[in-house]
Structure 1
Amino acid sequence: MTRRPVRIGNFSGYLGDRRSALADVLAGDPVDVLVGDYLAEFTLAMLASRHRADPSKGYVEYFLDQLGPQLGAVAERGCRVVANAGGFHPAGLAEAVRALAVARGVRLRVAHVEGDDVLPELDRLRADGHALAHLDTGAPLSDWGVRPIAANAYLGGWGIAAALRAGADVVVCGRVTDASLTAGPAAWWHGWDPADWDRLAAAVVAGHVVECGPHATGGDFSGFTAVPGAVEPGFPIAEIAADGTAVITKHAGHGGMVTADTVTAQLVYEIQGPRYLNPDVTAHLDSVRLRTTGPDRVELSGVTGSPPPPTTKVAAFAPIGHQVVHTLYATGLAVEEKVALVRAQVAALLGERPDVEVDVTALGVPAVDPRTQWEATAQIRVMAAGPDPEPLDDLVQGLGGLFLSSIPGFYTDTAARQASAARPRIDYWPALLAVEAVPHRVVLDGGERLDVPPPAATAEQAQPVHPEPGPPSPGPTRRLPLGALAHARSGDKGGNSNVGLWVPDPRAWPWLRDLLSTAGLRRLMPEAAHVEVVRHEFPELRAVHFVLRGLLGTGGSSNLRVDPIGKAVGEFLRARHVDVPVDLAAALPR
């Protein structure tokens, strides 16, 4: 018998998301499964250091703060909770949840998924011929030249499905893929087979949409001025039917909105192209179709899937030295010259240290004839990184000695916390490892272990190659910001930044496609002039998507950019002025 669609509600998109979210969604519309995503790559780097200092920790204690007061409501409603808050110690978090339940007199079965931590096996894996090649460069892990302190493989959703099938009420995971938090419960609910590629792919796509919480309901949306209740957008719900068709919605009465554009924003977020690779299935994003079926209801259909790749990603982290950041301010006239003087003084303070990387960046441009002092001010950010902390600590002390011998109007924000000493710098290596080399186990609350087999079929999955468009059609144009017509969202995948841009108006799609060639992107973003740019088109979404390889150095935890994980790249591009055909410009709202 075909079951009704499963309702899966997200309550966390990252470590630090709204503390009240779990309580809010439990007070909202009924759901069958609650899922929480905590493990961004940036977060893993932080947890790796914490786990190294104290092996009994390394999980997300914030999750306990959210779950503890709600354990009674979870049990009363009979909904399941699935979260990747286990970090580097899912067994420890599972035991902590059990202790919380006992203390509150609540009977819940807690299981955890393990096997993602391959750090203890790195030497054996390399001896067995696994190079753990870099995802982008293909270089073997041995070329890194440093010793990892963490290495976690991305697991799929079948362990989650097995735990739920065995009766678990709470499933604690380590590094499963973000979308697996949704795909696993959907597979359990509908009793799918591991070879149900289209259905699994559809669930992965729905999971990708809801994995970042309010991202799908108007949070971080380039059209935010039209979002009702934008002060506190609600959390999304994915209703996934037995055939994989999904509807994205939200809790009634909560802030935000669900539209084709808010869903598109998440579809193009942090992807590498039309082939969305998952350990269980490859989802073909270029076949996704969106249809608005009612207020705050968008249907996802047409998703096709194929076997997963023979490898999964391993997120490896290692300390590579130290870094420090200091900020000060330049006000009024000759700001470029003031920044140049600060840059020269930083260089003098460091002396001959070729092993130290330095970035001195001015943020903002003072207004002409400013009305307030703050309209006349630009921030100067000084960041330095190197193998040893001493020269960086000396730099901080030296900057503190410039108050009477630097630019006119030199000051720092004394109410803000300035770095007093260098802190460790953690680098990231996204490796590839054969899926059969990764153990995948479920541990039930009685200690019983269930092994999850690797996929029976795999296939190499290359991203498609899309031809470059021709030059834009001739005709009269107006000069307007790109964002007057197009939305955008950007993010990070290791050292790569991705950005997707799309137009709500179908009439503007041919223009956007022609405008955003690879060369067009480079013209709009000079910072990308010397990085590899990979371009794809999504005609069903009226979107052009770019991967800017290496824009973020080797990863958000170690580069010196002010926007280390590329979150504002899309908004920068929307601010650039472009030539817009007059007929499209005339159709814009005044």
Structure 2
Amino acid sequence: MSKGSPAPPTVRIAAGQGFWGDWLEAPYRQVTGGPIDYLMLDYLAEVTMSILQKQKSRDPTLGYAKDFVPLMERILPTLVERHIKVIANAGGVNPPACAEAVAAAARRLRLDGKVRIGVVTGDDLLGRLDGLVARGHELTNLDTGRPLRDVRDRVRSANAYLGAWPVVEALRQGADIVITGRVTDTGLTLAPMIHAFGWKRDDWDLLAAGTVAGHTIECGAQCSGGNCLVDWERIPDLANVGYPIVEAHADGTFDITKHPGTGGRISVAGVTEQLVYEMGNPAEYITPDCIADFTTIRLAPAGKDRVRVSGVRGKPATDKLKVSIAYFYGYKAVGTLVYAWPDAYKKAKAADGVLRQRLTALGLEFEAILTEFVGAGATHGVLALETADLDALPEVQLRIGVRSFDAAAVERFTREIAPLILNGPPSVTGFAGGRPKPEEIVAYWPALVDKRMVEPCVEIVEV
């Protein structure tokens, strides 16, 4: 918000991506389907950062969500015409390279002088880990209590979760597109609300309301009918599902809605399902910006495909930032075969036994071997089927995976699946995909770091 200018009565923030790999049409439909002020795109999950770090190590011009650039090239003319701003954590571990790629796309579209790109960095701690540990920051695993030094030589990426305020600063400097690294999912939506309404750093209830808004739309269509348990068969036209939009007000109340004429459904039940997604203590939802009390949230229907959210209370933020660390945890491979009736389950079990005997005879040792019989209670276990039901199953997929720090052992395992087609139990299919391939395992190490150790940086790229 410009100094001295009145706050707008409503700010519309549209979710366009809930993860890297989400529906490519959603952002385009959000910017063309009706009025919005901001397009929010959330690309990053915990494991994504390590994948991007590996890409950057091979090519210093990579390390960001590459899908973002052609998307921007497609919608930039509309963004400029309609004065829609974009906030995206597509920068991954290389926001400057992502920004330059988007700037190049803007130049190809002859939008010189019409686009300012804000670049938020400072979250990447990989090169600072040894210094932090030396200064007494143990970066202890929040789940196990182990110090980081136990796995330091295997760390692939380390990123602090920044909050909304660096994004607010980029908007204050006139950015039309803000590209970040690891910013909290909620911060991507909270930031434009802070900027538009002039909220202060200690407006805890307002910051909590914006945090709840961000949490509600961070997973895209998951709150507008997708992946919804309640009455799912009656949710209309998921092929044309409308992604959610926050219509926010300066007092912290907001509506969740979607563009008219789109599929899916906005309902109290659907919004409630999303609110409890990835929920720990509902009274203390901790972010870098505040602590939101989800037990104070009030939801009410406010018209067709519209839910009003109010009553959110907040508390002061902590003095820590969460750090997402990814480290090498060995190798894995997973193979599958499908066995057909009659006796599909018995055949799959017999094949599993044969394979395990052969692995033992070869002297192969694994940290873990996991067998699943998909279609025979793999999800719900013994609660799913009676013994009589197992005998009648039309087909069962044998899915077996191994994990080891010995790459050679995992590779040899991959060669033992295909022989079962001819020298194992009968009526087998499902191997058209070929021999499974060994993959590196990246494990997750959650930790905390003092906020004072992380310094966000904001730069503006002029097109």
Q: TM-score, normalised by structure 1?
A: 0.72
Report the Cα distance in structure 2 between the residues aligned to 1:62 and 1:309, rounded to whole angstroms. 35
Aligned 1:205-354 pairs, distance under 5 A: 205-222=212-229, 223-274=231-282, 275-351=284-360, 352-354=363-365
Contact 1:22–1:67, Cα closer than 8 Å, also in 2:
no
Report the Cα distance in structure 2 between the residues aligned to 1:211 and 1:379, rounded to whole angstroms. 34
- Whether 2:99 is the aligned partner of 1:99: answer no
- Whether 2:373 is the aligned partner of 1:362: answer yes
- Secondary structure of the equivalent of 1:219? coil
Report the Cα distance in structure 2 between the residues aligned to 1:377 and 1:14, rounded to whole angstroms. 33
Report the Cα distance in structure 1 between the residues aligned to 2:347 and 2:46, rounded to whole angstroms. 36
Aligned 1:99-248 pairs, distance under 5 A: 99-106=104-111, 107-144=114-151, 146-222=153-229, 223-248=231-256
Report the Cα distance in structure 2 between the residues aligned to 1:15 and 1:33, rounded to whole angstroms. 19
Contact 1:328–1:379, Cα closer than 8 Å, also in 2:
yes
Report the Cα distance in structure 2 between the residues aligned to 1:44 and 1:298, rounded to whole angstroms. 34
- Secondary structure of the equivalent of 2:372? strand
Report the Cα distance in structure 2 between the residues aligned to 1:431 and 1:298, rounded to whole angstroms. 35
Amino acid in the other structure paired with 2:333: V
Contact 1:350–1:391, Cα closer than 8 Å, also in 2:
no
Aligned to 1:79: 84
Contact 2:208–2:290, Cα closer than 8 Å, also in 1:
yes
Aligned to 1:437: 453
Report the Cα distance in structure 2 between the residues aligned to 1:53 and 1:358, rounded to whole angstroms. 32
Report the Cα distance in structure 2 between the residues aligned to 1:305 and 1:243, rounded to whole angstroms. 13
- Secondary structure of the equivalent of 2:409? helix
Give how far 1:260 is off: 0.2
Counterpart among 19, 26, 29 of residue 34 in structure 2: 29
Deviations 1:205-258 (A, max 9, x none): 001001111111100001321211122311111011111111111011111111
Give how far 1:318 is off: 1.7
Aligned to 2:382: none
Report the Cα distance in structure 2 between the residues aligned to 1:228 and 1:44, rounded to whole angstroms. 35
- Secondary structure of the equivalent of 1:150? strand
Amino acid in the other structure paired with 1:408: P
Moved more, 134-143 or 54-63: 134-143
Amino acid in the other structure paired with 2:372: T
Contact 1:224–1:230, Cα closer than 8 Å, also in 2:
no
Give how far 1:2 is off: 4.5
Aligned to 1:552: none
Moved more, 224-233 or 281-290: 224-233
Report the Cα distance in structure 1 between the residues aligned to 2:216 and 2:209, rounded to whole angstroms. 11
Aligned to 1:61: 66
Deviations 1:89-122 (A, max 9, x none): 0011011111111111112001110001000000
Deviations 1:157-205 (A, max 9, x none): 0011111111000000100000100001110010111111000000000
Contact 1:146–1:320, Cα closer than 8 Å, also in 2:
no
- Secondary structure of the equivalent of 1:155? coil
Give how far 1:420 is off: 4.0
Aligned to 1:474: none
- Structure 2 unaligned blocks of 5 or more: 1-5, 378-384
Paired-residue identity, %: 36
Moved more, 148-157 or 46-55: 46-55
Report the Cα distance in structure 2 between the residues aligned to 1:389 and 1:296, rounded to whole angstroms. 52
Deviations 1:267-286 (A, max 9, x none): 00112121111101111101
Report the Cα distance in structure 2 between the residues aligned to 1:139 and 1:305, rounded to whole angstroms. 31
Aligned to 1:487: none
Report the Cα distance in structure 2 between the residues aligned to 1:328 and 1:111, rounded to whole angstroms. 49
Relative to structure 1, the CA distance from residue 418 to residue 426 in structure 2 (aligned partners, 3 Å threshold; closer, same or farther) is: farther
CA RMSD for the aligned pairs? 2.1
Give how far 1:375 is off: 5.7
Report the Cα distance in structure 2 between the residues aligned to 1:113 and 1:135, rounded to whole angstroms. 27
Moved more, 128-137 or 108-117: 128-137
Contact 1:321–1:424, Cα closer than 8 Å, also in 2:
yes
- Structure 1 unaligned blocks of 5 or more: 448-590
Deviations 1:427-463 (A, max 9, x none): 111111111111111111269xxxxxxxxxxxxxxxx
Counterpart among 434, 437, 449 of residue 421 in structure 1: 437
Report the Cα distance in structure 2 between the residues aligned to 1:426 and 1:418, rounded to whole angstroms. 24
Report the Cα distance in structure 1 between the residues aligned to 2:440 and 2:355, rounded to whole angstroms. 21
Report the Cα distance in structure 1 between the residues aligned to 2:341 and 2:158, rounded to whole angstroms. 49
Contact 1:349–1:395, Cα closer than 8 Å, also in 2:
no
Report the Cα distance in structure 2 between the residues aligned to 1:388 and 1:56, rounded to whole angstroms. 32
Relative to structure 1, the CA distance from residue 145 to residue 175 in structure 2 (aligned partners, 3 Å threshold; closer, same or farther) is: closer
Report the Cα distance in structure 1 between the residues aligned to 2:345 and 2:393, rounded to whole angstroms. 16
Aligned to 1:571: none
Aligned 1:523-542 pairs, distance under 5 A: none
Report the Cα distance in structure 2 between the residues aligned to 1:297 and 1:399, rounded to whole angstroms. 52
Aligned to 1:379: 397
Contact 1:132–1:140, Cα closer than 8 Å, also in 2:
yes
Amino acid in the other structure paired with 1:338: K
Relative to structure 1, the CA distance from residue 54 to residue 126 in structure 2 (aligned partners, 3 Å threshold; closer, same or farther) is: same
Contact 1:112–1:171, Cα closer than 8 Å, also in 2:
yes
Relative to structure 1, the CA distance from residue 442 to residue 95 in structure 2 (aligned partners, 3 Å threshold; closer, same or farther) is: same
Aligned pairs, how many?
A: 442
Give how far 1:71 is off: 0.7
Contact 2:95–2:180, Cα closer than 8 Å, also in 1:
yes
Relative to structure 1, the CA distance from residue 337 to residue 174 in structure 2 (aligned partners, 3 Å threshold; closer, same or farther) is: same
Report the Cα distance in structure 1 between the residues aligned to 2:325 and 2:60, rounded to whole angstroms. 17
- Secondary structure of the equivalent of 1:398? coil
Deviations 1:308-346 (A, max 9, x none): 122111111122221111100122244454333222222
Amino acid in the other structure paired with 1:137: T
Counterpart among 378, 385, 388 of residue 406 in structure 2: 388
